[in-house]
A and B are shown apart, each in its own frame.
Chain A
Amino acid sequence: MGRYVVRRVIQAIPVILGATFLIYALVFLLPGDPIQALAGERRADPTVVAMLHNRYHLDDPFFLQYWHYLVGLFQGDFGEDYRGNAVVDVMTRAFPYTINLALTALVIEMVVGVVAGVIAALRRGRFIDNLVLISTLMVISIPTFVIGFVLQLLLGVKLHTDYGIDFFPVSFNEDAGFRAYLLPAYVLASTSLAYIARLTRTSLIEVMRADYVRTAVAKGLSPLRVVVRHGLRNALIPIVTFLGMDLGSLMGGAVITEGIFNIPGIGHQLFQSVYLRERTIVVGVVSALVLVYLFTNLVVDLLYAVLDPRIRYE
């Protein structure tokens, strides 16, 4: 088990390096001069441009530039953006928002998705099952930004203007505390929630047909115990995998949601940085997201062994 973890951590190193290289190259390939982008529409002063080019090694060949970045990275220095802000500061400012948002979304999709899936599975073929199936299909087919804007309009604006209930802030508002995250988290979670409801339903229907569930019934256990202890306990294994993988997607996928609700999180930052060709920030943020992916994947794999005793890591 310990050796397994060590092996997985070692395996993560080339993945991270590869990711930084790819992102660095992609941003490098973007047309336009980043220093000119700083100046916007105005002509930038050529001497300033030359100075900044020199400072950020922008005239060096690509591999040399990447090498400079890597050397910094290994010394724990993520570099600075073209305005002189340390990338670490930019990230530590933005990440808490995104983590709050993603975790809230994860809880919402887990609770609502699993409950909806269980109800649908146990009432298979009935009205409630069809309701879950059709509504989840709709959520899956509608793009997130549509759901986002519609809910923002209905719950953020209309609920306030028409009914006088000011519960969901239209735009992110730090004073509203946890409440501010609810609506955006729901929007962010919506697609995954639909998948989880469907996955839970399928998985539980499958498990409830298993021999050991029949045994549980034959033992004279209560229906609740049969479903929860013997059914759901087994049906949850694929769902835990999905949830673990999804935490990474939720953080990386927050770009649109953070844009709609104006949340100053990592997605927001990423979008701006790509726009401004802020290479160091883009690479830093994406690498951090890759780390999150790798970490949650490892946790899921370890959790597997806890959930299913037949799995052992040597």
Chain B
Amino acid sequence: MRGFEEAVARVGRLPRDNLNEYGFDPFGFSPDFVARIAPLAHVVYRRYFRAAAYGIEKVPTGRVILVANHSGQIPIDGMIIACAMMLDAEPPRMVRSMVEKFVPALPFVSYFMSRTGQVVGTPDNCVRLLERDETILAFPEGVAGISKTFSKRYQLQEFGHGFMRLALQTRSPIVPVAVIGGEEQAPSLYNSRAIARLFAAPSFPITPTLLPLPVKYRLYFGEPMRFKGDAEAEDRQIEPKVRSVRSTLQALVHRGLRERRHVFW
């Protein structure tokens, strides 16, 4: 029960100066709504996944882009990072992550995402959020990361360049975040492209688990990385910067794997 109260109290410490008189930001985010689900976040984060965040104090104040490896078939990794920033960071922060473009058309899911601060992943939305000094979460591997099979676990897939252009345009620091545990929560043996096409879904993993397994999640936050340059530059000029983030993140992932003694505790 103390955990519940603490979780709610931490949500209560979120800044309110960027909200309107009814407690919403222009994107529809509502700390009051988040406070209502904070106890659930506490249970999932602390009890079910027994998550641990290392180096979270390295996240600088003000605008920042968290760049993480993507895994686990369903985006629980994003939720874990968001819980960490809310329940373990000082002061608590709300992570704004990007959702797929079909999400606003889904009943219930649409407004749940909106009230919890998640926005459709258009470049314009990201820029606006960063200019409001928000914390953005990006998975540069995209679907290729989350839907990879168990045999490719913890191998970073190709990175998109969008996050780097955003960082350059808005002069935002990048903090790499290695997520350890996600690959084992729902091991995918096979990704059926045929079925995915049938449902117009990005992937259709074949996994033996119905619910994500109660693996222990570990998050490793790296040092902030700052880049300078033209956001509109050619791909070949952006590429080396992206590669340096990718290799830093891969090293962080390897460190996390080395330090891990067991998947479940």
Is this pair of chains taken from one and the same complex?
Answer: no
